[in-house]
Amino acid sequence: MHLARRQVPALLIFSLLANLLLLASTVYMLQIYDRVLSSGSIDTLVWLTLAVIGAIAVYGLLEQARRMILGHISQWLDDQLSVPVIERAMEARLAGSNLEAGLKDVADLRGFVAADGMLTFLDAPWTPVFLAFMWLLHPALGLVGIAGAILLFCGALANDFLTRRKSQEATLGLRRNQAAAGQYVDGAETLRSLGMSEPALQRWEEKQQSLMTIQSQLLARTTSIGSLSRSLRLALQVAVLGLGAYFVLRGELTAGSMIAASILLSRALAPIERSIGAWRSLVTARTARRNLMRLFTDTGPRQSGGVTLPRPHGRLKLEDVYYYAPGTQQALMNKVSLNVVAGETCGVIGPSGSGKTTLCRLMVGTLRPSLGHVRLDGAEVASWPSDQLGMHIGYLPQQVDLFPGTIAENIARLRDVDSAAVIAAAQLAGIHEMILRMPNGYQTEVGPHGARISRGQRQRIALARALFGNPALIVLDEPNTGLDSEGEMALFNVLRHLKGRGQTVILVSHQISLLRTADHVAFMLDGTVKAFGTRDEVLGALGGQHKPTAVPTPGQDKTIVNVPAKLKAAE
């Protein structure tokens, strides 16, 4: 904020000078009526005209300077806030926060600073200067000006009081409805196939029309107050002219002063009148600032890079980890302790909703434990800067997302593409030939607006992304989701290869067949590790299932469904 604060004195000085130069036309009119017309001096007229033209030229330069400063400040706000806001919004989403701040707030704030509304509020404080000149011309004229300013200011306050709350609610509702429209577009396949398009769009349209009705009502209210304000200003100008003429007839005022007072009143009331029309943008900017302040406050200070830790070997340890659902005391993880030796493969099994995905997110640092510690080679995972930690971790989430860019860029984790490393990761994942058969090979665009690829292909590309850079710890959450028999065979070969290279692997699966390479297995139930031991010990306790001796064909995989009553909790 230092750059913006440094510009404030210049803005205030330029605003003062610009508003003082607006008096030039008033002084010109005063001198024309009181001196030039009475004296008939052509020279006086010429020099007065040249002086006023010069003053107007300087005013134009000052006005341009003010707009340029505000433009630079708005650009600086965008440069300084956009990336941090995205980062904080990501952190808020991972933390389960319901904050709705985003780039739209940055755009609203930037738009207010760069638009005429900001100039209106910069000019408003100089209204007393014009009223003071009116008072100097005649106290009665000054009183009329002050009364008019008070009435218009009360109109602005009334506009704020009548529209602020509903305007904020309507703005928030429109933002949410816009987000819903994006979700409908992304889910077009589901909506169309299930016949949900018409009811979804009908619900959206009803909500949109309701919000737009509120917006129209607010606009009508603001417009009405603005129209009354303009009418009042015109009436006040007529009153000043009439009163001025009365004082001229009585010999207490000159004709030039009468005209000058009318011009001064117009200058004095113009910022207040314009502020009524600009109030909506002020409310929007104020809401945006409040949202951004909440976002930066609730997500806490950014962690500095600090000391760069060496590449970990892959030793993972969880020490009495608890994790509570955001804003509640519901424990999704309940005193979980695990110790995975570097180079081992640990399987995690359990019924749906037992906490396996939450455990994965804690292991890779996307969630911070409410209590306890998650350590990688002794270092706290949640405190490890993400840009450093991400280089040493491979993560395949249950819900796979590919981002706008090419296949190569997605595998390279959106960094500069190292062709050799990208191809190595693709070959390890068994998708090199599959990628070469795509329209543009590794340069095929994927993501929301890219090429249409199957769920299984997305899964395998995401697996290659997890393997990119030879990470020390690889966490795979249901990696066989959506895979065909060829993909499952390739996945098993990946697990076997990682086992041979001595990389630490956490494997979450409902299927026994994938656990063939596992050294240990953890069984989870209700957010607690109920059993932890070697693969054969745990699988044996789960109903006498034995170590698979071959890779089963599709349809033959045994799926863990029930928890035997004889299973005892791991100590």
User: How confident is the model over 329-355, as pLDDT tens digits?
Assistant: 778 888 888 899 998 999 999 888 888
Q: 300 vs 20, 131, 446, CA distance in Å?
A: 45, 47, 34
**Which domains can be identified in the chain, with CATH numbers?**
1-297 (1.20.1560.10), 316-543 (3.40.50.300)
Q: Over the stretch 216-267, which tens digit does the pLDDT of each residue have?
A: 888 888 788 878 888 888 888 888 888 888 888 888 888 888 888 888 888 8
Q: What is the mean pLDDT of residues 387-414?
A: 86
pLDDT at residue number 543: 66
The answer to whether 450 and 444 are in contact (CB under 8 A) is: yes
Residue 568 has pLDDT above 70, yes or no: no
pLDDT at residue number 505: 92
CB-based contacts of 62-70 (< 8 A; 24+ apart in sequence): 62/14, 62/17, 62/18, 62/21, 63/18, 65/10, 65/14, 66/11, 66/14, 66/15, 66/18, 66/119, 66/122, 67/119, 69/7, 69/10, 69/11, 69/14, 70/11, 70/113, 70/114, 70/118, 70/119
C-alpha 436/C-alpha 353 separation (Å) is 38
Average pLDDT, the chain: 81
Residue 571 has pLDDT above 70, yes or no: no
pLDDT at residue number 36: 77
Residue 561 has pLDDT above 70, yes or no: no
pLDDT at residue number 160: 75
pLDDT at residue number 302: 53
Q: Confidence class of residue 506 from pLDDT cuts 50, 70 and 90?
A: very high
Q: Confidence class of residue 550 from pLDDT cuts 50, 70 and 90?
A: very low
| The most confident of 83-87, 305-309, 530-534, by mean pLDDT | 530-534
Q: How far is CA 460 from the centre of its chain?
A: 30
pLDDT at residue number 95: 67
The answer to whether 417 and 409 are in contact (CB under 8 A) is: yes
Share of the chain above pLDDT 90, in %: 8
Q: What is the mean pLDDT of residues 390-416?
A: 87
User: Does an H or E element contain 286, and which?
Assistant: helix 255-298
C-alpha 565/C-alpha 546 separation (Å) is 19
Q: Over the stretch 26-73, which tens digit does the pLDDT of each residue have?
A: 788 777 877 777 777 788 888 888 988 998 899 889 888 888 888 888
**List of E strands, 131-197:** none
Q: Confidence class of residue 180 from pLDDT cuts 50, 70 and 90?
A: confident
Instruction: Name the residue among 97, 69, 83 with its Cα closest to residue 8.
Output: 69
| The most confident of 89-93, 113-117, 267-271, by mean pLDDT | 267-271
Residue 438 has pLDDT above 80, yes or no: yes
Locate 121 and state its tokens.
């509020």
Q: Confidence class of residue 306 from pLDDT cuts 50, 70 and 90?
A: low
State the residue for tokens 């706290």.
380
Q: Confidence class of residue 420 from pLDDT cuts 50, 70 and 90?
A: very high
Q: Confidence class of residue 501 from pLDDT cuts 50, 70 and 90?
A: confident
Q: Confidence class of residue 536 from pLDDT cuts 50, 70 and 90?
A: confident
